[in-house]
Each structure stands twice: as C-alpha cells, then as structure tokens.
Amino acid sequence: MRYLPLTPDDRTAMLAAIGAKSIDDLFVDVPEAARLDGPVDLPRVAGELEVDRALSAMAAKNATAGAVPFFCGAGAYKHHVPATVDHVIQRSEFLTSYTPYQPEIAQGTLQYLYEFQTQVANLTGMPVANASLYDGSTAMAEGVLMATRVTRRNKAVISGGVHPHYVKATETVVHAVGVETLALPAAVDAEAAVIDQIGPDTACVVVQTPNVFGTATDVTKIAEAAHAAGALLIVVVTEAVSMGLLKSPGEMGADIVAAEGQSIGNALNFGGPYVGLFATRDKLIRQMPGRLTGETVDADGERGFVLTLSTREQHIRRDKATSNICTNSGLCTLAFTIHMSLLGETGLRKLALLNHEKAVATRDALAAIPGVEILTDRFFNEFAVRLPRNAAEVVDALAGHHILAGVPYSRLAPDAGMDDVLLIAATETTLDADIQILAKSLSKVLGA
C-alpha cells in the first residue's frame, strides 16, 4: 500500500525490538469476541488511477455551477477565487499542520489568523473577531448561546428574514439547553417586526441583512430597541461580499456578528467546508466561543502570536467552557484571508458593486416578464420573485434546459406558504448572456 512505509522486514525487526511474536500480541487487550479475523467486506487496495476513475465518474454526474447559467444563492455563493488562493492553501506548511499549539513553530498559522481576525473585525465593523467557527449557521447558534450568558436571560427573538436552515440549526442546539426562541413568520421585509417582540426576558434579537429574501435593511433602530431593553443585537450575514457595499453591522449597532465567509476565498463545495465569522464588542471577549489569536512577545522581546484566552475553552475549562468547539475552519480562514489580502478595500468595494450591478441587471430582465413579480426592493446581489407557478417546478424545468435558475424558497421552508417564491442571486461571475438566457427560458417555461 503506497501510503504505508513499513516493509515486512521492518515489521519483523520492530516486533522483535518490542518483544512481541506477532502483531496479534499487540491487540491482546481487545476481547476475543470483538476481534475480526480478516478484512471487512469492502473492496481491497486500489491504485491512484482506479480511485481517480471511480470518483471522477461520480463527479461527472453533477451539473457544475461554472458550466451553466447559474443563479443559486440562499447562503452559498458562486464567486471567482484567484488561482493564488488555492495554490497557497495547498502548501505543505499550511495544509498539513495542526492547530498551532506550539507557537514557536507555528507562527505562520498564528500570524495569518491574527490578520484574519483583524480583517473580519474591520469588515464587520466590530472591535474583535475570533479565529473562525464551522460556518455561518453554527456561528448564529453560538451567538445566541453567548447572548444568554452575557445577559443571563433566556429568550432569543429571531426575525422572519433569517435563513430557515440557520434558524433550524440554532433552535436544535439552543433548545437543548433550555433557551427559548421566538422565530417570527417569514416575510420579505421582516426585520422591523422584531421590535414589538422585545421584552424584559429577551437575551438577543437576531436579524439577517441582506436577509434570506435579499432585502438589505438598516438595523440601527432595531439595535436601539434591543439595547433599550437590555438585549443584544445579533446580525447574521450570509453573503460576506455584501459588507463591501453595505453599511457594516458594527456601524448599525450590532453586538455580535455571525456571518458566513464562504464567499471570500472558498468554493461552493456542495455546502462545506465553509467558514463561520464571529465578531463582537471588546467587553464581551471573555464570553466568546472558539479560538482567539493574540499578540505577545518571545523571550527576546520579539513580537509573536499565540492562541490565547484558552481558559474559555474546552481543553482547559471542560464542562465550564464557553463552547465545545475544537477543530474549526483553519484552512478556510486562510483562503478567506488570502483572497481578502488580494482584494484589499479597493478590490472588495469594486467586487461588491459588480455583484450588485449584475443582480440589478438580472432583476430588470426578469421584471419585464409578464407574471413575474419582483418582491425585494433594496437588495445586494440576491432578490426574491413571485412566479405565477410553483417555483420548484419551474427550477426543475429550467434545470432540464441546463440552467440553474435559483433556489425555490419552499426548498428551505416547505410550510411557509411561499411555494411560488424563487430566490435569485447574481455575482461577478454572471454573464450578461446568462441573464438573457435565464429571462428567455423563464418566459418560455412560464408560457409568457
């Protein structure tokens, strides 16, 4: 087997050094009843060529985003990732290293994490950010739990504009510890409705902007209402590029930002791995979940970086930890930070404008189709439309014509009574020709 360096002679010599007669001697502690005599019922060793063929055959059965007019979003976005990003993250020293527990020989990882934390803090408009969580949805769940620790209150009010899968993933976890949630009904302009639900027991209000229907909202008034009641405002962002054009959550008064960073540096990957961005205010850092990298000096007084505030974490605090998270999204944070360094503020702002421009062009093309109603007024790169038919059926029909037309809202929330709503996203990768094909084909499918 090509990954196993020991030769039969090595094994014999090593067993002799140990004083064992056979390899079985080393497994004596396994109860006899549980020992397998031979290999389990699975295929045997396979060469690179065979594995490549088998997996490539599976890959070939999927319609790839880059090969068709593509308008899917709803929490995962198709962006161009510069070639440099994927090259650098495959360098051995990044790809094949562990969590930086020995800082003297992990300064590479620690410095990029420190830079990442600074970039995320500035992007979200917040004072501090951690070294990542698994993804945006788990970041939201952690945000709610953190808010209950900070406020010592037990209830989260969740806007009807938050991605339904984020709501579900959060409720699954926080309900287990007895945190109550009030998830408001889905609506294209759902945000303001949270204000009336804030009460003395509210730990946090969760809003998403742009929301799942694409609506971009200034949440300043919601922040004020939450703060007046002693609650925290959690702002969820599923499209990180939007912060290059829209007011940052920090500017609008967020206390915690839980965002999905996939859009910067990371591929679609059928849903993972992604990278959860988590940022907050200075006074709350000791309640933050996840790894934090901090600045310090070495014995000679030279600047260096270490993982810090680990007394919040599971390996020190065990059952008193702020979270159970250990492994997070290391290499995805590297992809994020490289792409962000390439973009810089100039590139990010331009990229964000291009996204918005493509979405506006797509909206304009679809608005001209009889029967198609544009539901989202102010949006970044994604908007919702109401179709005269079931949206999932329309998407399936268009997929038959090799067009991935968007995400039917019913896919996320079958019971919301929005079977005719389609979420459509455009990015810098969207061609004008793609927009024309979508408009033409949609008209045809709708019989307009």
Q: Considering only residues 156-185, where is the footprint of another protein by CB under 8 A?
A: 163, 165-166, 168-169, 171-173, 175-178
User: How many alpha carbons fall within 13 Å on the CB side of residue 125?
Assistant: 17
Cα four-point dihedral sign 65, 136, 80, 443: positive
Among 8, 21, 56, 152, binds another protein (CB under 8 A): 56
C-alpha 56/C-alpha 58 separation (Å) is 5
Cα dihedral 123, 129, 130, 136 sign: negative
Question: Is the Cβ of residue 309 or residue 446 nearer to another protein in the bound state?
Answer: 309
User: What residues from 108 to 127 belong to the interface with another protein (CB under 8 A)?
Assistant: 108-109, 111-112, 114-115, 117-119, 121-123, 127
Q: Which stretch binds another protein (CB under 8 A): 76-84, 146-154, 381-389, 439-447?
A: 76-84
Minimum CB–partner distance for residue 166 and another protein (Å): 6
Residue 146 binds to another protein (criterion: CB under 8 A)? no
Do the Cβ atoms of 417 and 390 come closer than 8 Å?
no
What tokens were used for 298? 């070495």
State the minimum distance, in angstroms, from the CB of residue 347 to another protein: 4
Question: Going by C-beta distance under 8 Å and a sequence separation of 6 or more, which residues neighbour residue 33?
Answer: none
Which member of 45, 367, 431, 448 binds another protein (CB under 8 A)?
45
Binding region for another protein (CB under 8 A) out of 75-83, 149-157, 182-190, 224-232: 75-83
Nearer to another protein, 35 or 230 (CB): 35
Binding mask 91-110 for another protein (x = CB under 8 A): xxxxxxxxxxxxxxxxxxx-
Q: Strand 202-208 and strand 155-158: pairing?
A: parallel
Nearer to another protein by C-beta: 230 or 414? 414
The residue (of 205 and 312) whose beta carbon lies closer to another protein is: 312
Q: Decide if residue 267 touches another protein (CB under 8 A).
A: yes
Would you count residue 429 as binding another protein (CB under 8 A)? no
User: What residues between 235 and 264 interact with another protein by CB under 8 A?
Assistant: 243-248, 251, 260
Q: How far is the CB of 388 from another protein (least distance, A)?
A: 20
206 touches another protein by CB under 8 A: no
234: nearest Cα among 274, 196, 262, 194: 194
Instruction: Report the distance separating Cα 293 and Cα 159, nearest Å.
Output: 32
For position 228 contacting another protein by CB under 8 A, the verdict is no
Per-residue binding letters, 4-23, with another protein (x by CB under 8 A): xxxx--xx-xxx-xxxx--x
Our CB check for another protein shows the closer of 326 and 368 to be 326
Going across the sheet that includes 421-425, the strands are: 373-374, 382-386, 421-425, 407-408
The candidate with the shortest Cα–Cα distance to 246, out of 155, 347, 335, 123, is: 123
Structure tokens at 280: 């907050």
Cβ pair 223, 233 in contact under 8 A: yes
The answer to whether residue 365 forms part of the interface with another protein (CB under 8 A) is no
Longest Cα pair distance anywhere in the chain, in angstroms?
A: 83
Number of residues that bind another protein (CB under 8 A): 205
Q: Give the nearer residue to another protein in terms of CB position, either 311 or 436.
A: 311
CA–CA gap between residue 358 and residue 381 (Å, rounded) = 7
Q: State which of residues 182, 192, 284, 331 lies at the interface with another protein (CB under 8 A).
A: 331
3-class DSSP assignment, residue 172 = helix
Question: Distance between CA 335 and CA 265 in Å, rounded?
Answer: 5
> Can residue 433 be called a binding residue for another protein (CB under 8 A)?
no
Q: Which is nearer to another protein, 202 or 328 (CB)?
A: 328
Nearer to another protein, 1 or 200 (CB): 1
Answer whether the bond into residue 289 is a cis peptide, omega within 30°: no
Find the binder of another protein among 228, 367, 399, 448 (CB under 8 A).
399
Other CB atoms within a 10 A radius of the CB of residue 29 amount to 5
Binding to another protein, residues 280-319 (CB under 8 A):
285, 291-300, 302, 304, 306, 308-311, 313-319
Residue 348 in contact with residue 239, Cβ under 8 Å? no
Residue 367 sits in the site that holds another protein (CB under 8 A): no
CA distance 423 to 425: 7
Report which of 421, 370, 365 is spatially closest to residue 393, judged by C-alpha positions: 421
Q: Does 414 bind another protein (CB under 8 A)?
A: yes
Complex with another protein: residue 166 or 213, whichever CB lies closer: 166
Q: Does 66 participate in binding another protein (rule CB under 8 A)?
A: yes
